[in-house]
Amino acid sequence: MKPIRLPANQLHHFYRGGERIAGFRGIPSEDPYAPEDWVGSTTSRFGEGDRGLTVLAEGGTLRDAIAAAPEPFLGAAHVSSFGPDPALLVKLLDAGQRLPVHCHPDRDFAREHLGLATGKTETWLIVESEDASVHLGFREDVEADVVAGWVERQDRDAMLGALHELPVVPGDRVYVPAGLPHAIGEGILLVELQEPADLSVLLEYEGFQLDGPRDGHLGLGYDLALRCLDRGALGPGELAHLKAAASDLPETRPGATTLLPPEADAFFRAERLRPGPVAALEPGFSILVAVAGHGRLEAERGGRVDLAYGDTVLVPYAAGAAELTGEIDVLRCLPPKPEA
């Protein structure tokens, strides 16, 4: 089973963006509201049927292909832990405007109130940033009735003023546990890893192309939906743990840097691969996003693939061990670590 080149999979959304994704991909920019490219997706949009699923070049969805051959794609250990599902969603995200203040439910909330097995913890790997910032976590504890008032009045100044503002540059990593309020600033292109669910509670919606009172609360109503929000203060030590610069992340093996804190292993894993001259990849399902340069991936049992800036490739477990060579910078996105 060979590595699979993944086609663009941009989705129309309620916020502006998409031009940077088109430039990254080397394709025309045809929709100013296509800010997300769901890469190798077996996840569909919340309440929208099959929308969001990756369709393979030869036809059919990736989800169906994996369901037909789960162990060759994912490996026996992964299937034993998570079933015939990658348990991962990777996105390219282009913030053509600041995203609204929002949060995501965790697994317990999603199970209890939505009947879903997964919440939405995520991480952002910054690829491009034009003097931009992200907003993450409250600076002080906030009472539930205060938040409810902000939402009812759509008081964006109060919401943004209550959040930490963090400048970001290319190479930064921001880990975002479910529940934390956040907003991605305008002018950022990033790779997002997340749990495979499309679940957002929008604290802010005024001025965006959606009906917030109808669609901003996952069908739960705001009284219940806002219970998933982490209203606690996020201190300096916690912020430093969640946001890291590339220089803060040491090489963990030749040509590879582990990007995420250990607690992320339960949700997803990520490496930055910069061959010098070779970076070795152990067998395993992964999605590669080339963010600079040119190189080549040679898989033990799956042939070779040339890679360049903007390419995205799925590496199935059955391709075996692989080597990455060349003057290239690749983000390797991996599923959660299987249970022992």
pLDDT tens string 161-180: 999 999 999 999 999 999 99
Q: pTM for the whole thing?
A: 0.97
Which of 186, 221, 244 terminates a domain? The answer is 244
Residue 206: inside a domain: yes
Cβ pair 296, 326 in contact under 8 A = yes
Q: Read off the pLDDT of residues 49-92 as tens digits, 9 standing for 90 and up.
A: 899 999 998 889 999 999 999 999 999 999 999 999 999 999 99
One domain for residues 166 and 306 = no
Which candidate, 333, 254, 324, 255, places its Cα nearest to that of 295? 324
- The total number of structural domains in the chain stands at 2
- Say if residue 138 is in the same domain as residue 275: no
Domain with residue 23: its CATH number is 2.60.120.10
pLDDT digit string, tens, across residues 114-154? 999 999 999 999 999 989 999 999 999 999 999 999 999 99
> Is there a domain that residue 109 lies in?
yes
332 phi/psi in degrees, rounded to 5: -105, 115
Over residues 296-312, mean pLDDT: 94
Would you say residue 339 lies in a domain?
no
Same domain, 12 and 151: yes
Same domain, 121 and 269: no
Q: Is pLDDT at 302 greater than 80 in this prediction?
A: no
What distance in Å separates the CA atoms of residue 333 and residue 122, rounded to the nearest whole number?
A: 12
Name the residue range of residue 207's domain: 4-244
Contacts of 329 (CB under 8 A, 6+ apart): 272, 273, 274, 290, 291, 292, 293
Q: Is residue 249 part of a domain?
A: no
Write out the DSSP string of 189-254.
EEEEEE-S----EES--TTSSS-HHHHTTTTS-HHHHGGGS--SB--HHHHHHHEE-GGGS-EEET
- d(CA 283, CA 266) in angstroms, rounded, equals 19
**340 domain residue, yes or no:** no
Which pLDDT score, from 0 to 100, does residue 148 have?
98
